[in-house]
Amino acid sequence: MSDEVLAAMNEAARCSIDMHELHIAAGKRLAQLTQNEAAYVTSGCAAALVLAVLAIRNNGDPSGIISFPGHAERPFEVVMHTAHRIPYDSALALAGATIRQIGNAQQTFEWELEAAITKETAAVLYVPGTHLAQVALPLDVVVAIAHARGIPVVVDAAAQLPPVENLWSFTRDQGADIAVFSGGKALGGPQASGLMVGRTDLIEAARQNGAPYQRWARALKVGKEEIAGLITAVSRFVSLDHRAVHQDWLKTVQSWHAAFEDTPGVIASIEPTNEAGQPVPRLHLGISNPERARKVLDFIDASNPRVMVLPDMRNGQPHGLWLTPEILKAGEPGNVQNVVLSSIDQSK
């Protein structure tokens, strides 16, 4: 986190405040910053998914809120592409929802979404990102089909920053009713924070379900420190010169490439996007021998100070690794380079 974010959290920790008022004021400010109708701070992106589904389920009605998690009058389904199933979608169960899948790993048709929407459907959850199978229907098509049947669309955009435009693109431009983001990834906010943006009525309904009310989602409480930190982080993020940031990342990756390109047994290549398809360049180091690749990863893992890399795992075997510059501070790219080079040398 930046010094500004840490300072905001430190200041908030020294204050006492009405949490209802803070949530409302924070939401208004974040809505302005993200060019959305409304916004709400949560304790993470998974928490935002739970609150989004609860909001859709009870629309903020107190009688519906306090009756949960009792037996529902009818099944409560969220439609998802098979290609969009991720480990995090288990959060939907906390809101009492079950998942109805459409399509398969190779294709999805519009009629499948149309047929899946029934009287039991509460919402459609859409998970963008090129790291998922590219056979899902486009978001605008999903929105059109769902809205024609009175069904809201929620976008899980946890790792879909940058670009900064995604803060408003999914909702304002493409028509999704809610989009949720992690506060602690690209935004640079507190790790235990999330951002929900979208329709005013649904955001307010989500707020009615959460802390400081003594309701089901009180367990997903977010503190005043995280709220202050996230506001500062979002304000900082939207004001960044993202082109300059990208150029700095690219220079780092190019420098790494120059250092590794002649390393025996290693194939270095620059990739323009990260694992989630976002415009964050990274370096791939391919190691054809899985046994050696595993040794390299073990040596890196044992480094002090410790360096974390993303293993390239295929068929249960390591085939190299990726280096990403996104969170590194001044001087750290060189340290990462030295640790990886040393680990490769030790693996011979």
The whole-number average pLDDT for the span 64-88 is: 83
Span 45-54, pLDDT tens digits:
999 999 999 9
Say whether pLDDT at 133 is over 70.
no
Of 206, 222, 239, the last residue of a domain is 239
pLDDT of residue 41: 99
Span 288-329, pLDDT tens digits:
899 999 999 999 999 999 999 999 998 899 999 999 999 999
Span 6-21, pLDDT tens digits:
999 999 999 999 999 9
pLDDT of residue 73: 59
What pLDDT band is residue 64 in, cutting at 50, 70 and 90? confident
Residues 175, 247: one domain? no
Span 25-37, pLDDT tens digits:
999 999 999 999 9
Residues 211, 292: one domain? no
pLDDT of residue 129: 83
Identify the CA nearest to 181 among candidates 49, 57, 327, 54. Answer: 49
CA dist 35 to 102, 170, 242, Å?
32, 11, 18
Span 205-259, pLDDT tens digits:
999 999 999 888 899 999 999 999 999 999 999 999 999 999 999 999 999 999 9
Residues 133, 176: one domain? yes
Residues 269, 330: one domain? yes
**How many other CB atoms are found less than 10 A from the CB of residue 314?**
10
Say whether pLDDT at 74 is over 70.
no
The whole-number average pLDDT for the span 269-276 is: 94
What is the total count of domains within the chain?
2
Mean pLDDT of the chain: 95
Span 325-336, pLDDT tens digits:
999 999 999 999
Long-range pairs for 19-28: beta carbons < 8 A, 24 or more residues apart: 19/211, 19/212, 19/224, 20/212, 22/224, 22/227, 23/207, 23/227, 24/207, 26/227, 26/230, 26/231, 27/203, 27/207
Q: For residues 296 and 285, what is the distance between their CA atoms, to the nearest angstrom?
A: 11
CB 195 within 8 A of CB 231: no
Structural domain range at position 282: 242-346
Residues 108, 93: one domain? yes
Say whether pLDDT at 348 is over 90.
no
Report pTM: 0.93
pLDDT of residue 61: 86
Residues 262, 227: one domain? no
pLDDT of residue 115: 98
What pLDDT band is residue 71 in, cutting at 50, 70 and 90? low
Q: For residues 3 and 97, what is the distance between their CA atoms, to the nearest angstrom?
A: 40
Could you tell me the CATH number of the domain that includes residue 279?
3.90.1150.180
Residues 169, 249: one domain? no
Fill in the DSSP letter of residue 60: T
The whole-number average pLDDT for the span 174-193 is: 98
Residues 18, 141: one domain? yes
The whole-number average pLDDT for the span 67-80 is: 78
What pLDDT band is residue 153 in, cutting at 50, 70 and 90? very high
Of 216, 239, 262, the last residue of a domain is 239
Residues 206, 294: one domain? no
Q: What percent of the chain has a predicted confidence (pLDDT) above 70?
A: 98
Q: For residues 303 and 340, what is the distance between their CA atoms, to the nearest angstrom?
A: 9
Could you tell me the CATH number of the domain that includes residue 188?
3.40.640.10
Identify the CA nearest to 179 among candidates 204, 145, 207, 202. Answer: 202
pLDDT of residue 315: 87
What pLDDT band is residue 67 in, cutting at 50, 70 and 90? confident
Say whether pLDDT at 109 is over 90.
yes
